[in-house]
A and B are shown apart, each in its own frame.
Chain A
Amino acid sequence: MAERKVIDARGSFCPGPLMELIAGIKLIEIGDELEVLSSDKGSASDIPEWINKVGHEMVSTTEEDGVWHIVVRKTK
């Protein structure tokens, strides 16, 4: 069963949700998931752009009360 860790990057202007994701993905095992919470709507596009470019997997993107929940899976 894959583990899922959560990074609460709400209110993170610097380094920001994507940078937190890049740092966080180094710390999980292949197959595990990261859920990033972001209050920046830009995360809904810039996180998938990086994930696709580097070759990990997007699992889901949802928005609830102004908070984006972006789930990715580490593939390599």
Chain B
Amino acid sequence: MKILIVGGGMGGTILANNLARRLKGELSSGKAHITMLSASDKHMYQPGLLYVALGRMSADELYRDQASLLEPGINFHVDPVEEFNLDNNNVKTKSGKTYDYDIIVIATGSRAVPENIPGLAENSINVYTEQAALNFYQTINSFEGGRIVIAVGVPHKCPMIPPELTFTLYDFFNDRGMGDKVSIHYTYPIGRLHALEPVANWMQGEFATRGVTSETLFNMKEVDGDKKVVRSEEGSEVEFDLLVAVPAHKGMEVVESNNLGASGWIPVDKKRLNIEGHDNAFAIGDTTNIPISKAGSTAHFEAEALAENIASMVKIGQPVRDYDGKVFCFIEAGKDKATYAMFNYNNPPDPKPPTKSLHWFKMAYNNLYWASARGLL
């Protein structure tokens, strides 16, 4: 049985390693083969970009060699897929090779597209690439004061980034003795401060304590860099001295160019994770159109469920479990405190008051992540 994993990010890597351990005997005997195709020989710990943007991690701490993270027996190639032929069970890659498969998993992730809002890319900072995070730090490091506006596109990766940016930027400038020179105005696309209602309610009190102002039902339409205003689809406009964006995201271009899903999101069954119309093709992580958070933990828990199912398909010919929609997100709350939100399709989150111990656990997880990627945690 040939298993092909396209994408070497968090979801693809956890899946490959989990699967390799479950199928150790089958890999040794030649009954199963696992191949991973990725666009890069490096693996980035994406949540670390926030800390790079704040000057608390260096960019080189975010990377490991992808091959070093993979279990023995996984065939790894840096050769991105350009053509998916799901009806014929093969893909074609940039190098010109064709890879046949019995089971395919697409885990190609997503990308921020600030260029889709006129004026946004040129007039804002964000934390979604290494270069953007470095530019973010240089910008806030030289910011002399004024009004910071946080503006959020839909959909975006990591739902906790809007509050985390707000709280950590507040601390960043207060710790520098610039609290009286900097004000923060937070905007959000829906009618409360966060998608998760308990988080939104908690943020209200935190904002009041810090003097952070806010405007809800604010969806970016355009940014005027000369007048330094951001205008919303809802008809309002907000002045800024520094615009901090959480840009909208899309799936990868190869998904769109192969007509696998509008805006690069592949339609999948939200429990079995198979691509609509296919029993042997799956997608996990940001790549899917499932209406849950685009977050590393989503990819992680989907990968674990799918690894169990694919291993069962190899061993007994059928899957054995559903993905239950589990998501777990840390929330950096500022002042070296953090909390978390955990939920699934049937159980809403119930975040607890932030504690210092959870912040330090998150800091530890920034390194423990590499054990997660190896499928050990």
Contact = CB atoms under 8 A, between A and B. Distances in A.
A59 interface: no
Chain A at the B interface: SS class: mixed
Nearest to B341: A14
B146 interface: no
B155 A23 contact: yes
Nearest to B233: A54
B211 interface: no
Contact of A13 (B190, B219, B263, B343): B343
B154 interface: yes
Contacts of B325: 11
Contact of A50 (B191, B197, B270, B341): B191
Contact of B155 (A9, A19, A50): A19
A30 to B, nearest CB: 14
B182 interface: no
B219 A54 contact: yes
B190 A50 contact: yes
B289 to A, nearest CB: 9
A15 B195 contact: yes
B298 to A, nearest CB: 10
A39 B166 CA distance: 30
A42 to B, nearest CB: 8
Interface in A1-56: 7-20, 22-23, 26-27, 42, 46, 49-50, 53-54
Contacts of A46: 190-191
Contacts of A49: 191, 217
Contact of A22 (B189, B196, B344, B348): B189
Nearest to A18: B190
A53 B217 contact: yes
B-side interface mostly: loop
Interface in B162-213: 189-191, 195-197
B291 A7 contact: yes
B16 to A, nearest CB: 27
B234 interface: yes
A50 B217 contact: yes
> A11, A14, A18, A50: which has the most chain B beta carbons within 10 Å?
A14
Contacts of B299: none
Contact of A11 (B155, B262, B263, B345): B345
Contacts of B88: none
Contacts of B190: 16, 18-19, 22, 46, 50
Nearest to A7: B291
A29 to B, nearest CB: 12
B39 to A, nearest CB: 25
B191 A16 contact: no
B159 interface: yes
Nearest to B344: A11
Contacts of A18: 189-191
B233 to A, nearest CB: 5
A11 B290 CA distance: 10
A7 B292 CA distance: 12
B291 A22 contact: no
Q: Give the one of A10, A11, A27 with max B CB within 10 A.
A: A11
A14 B195 contact: yes
A27 B346 CA distance: 28
A50 B233 CA distance: 10
Contact of B154 (A7, A12, A13, A19): A19
A-B interface, 3 closest residue pairs, ranked by CB to CB distance from nearest = A11-B345, A12-B291, A14-B195
7 contacts: A11-B325, A14-B196, A14-B349, A15-B195, A19-B195, A20-B291, A53-B217
Interface of B: 154-155, 159, 189-191, 195-197, 217, 219, 233-235, 248, 262-263, 270, 291-293, 325, 327, 341, 343-346, 348-349
Interface of A: 7-20, 22-23, 26-27, 42, 46, 49-50, 53-54
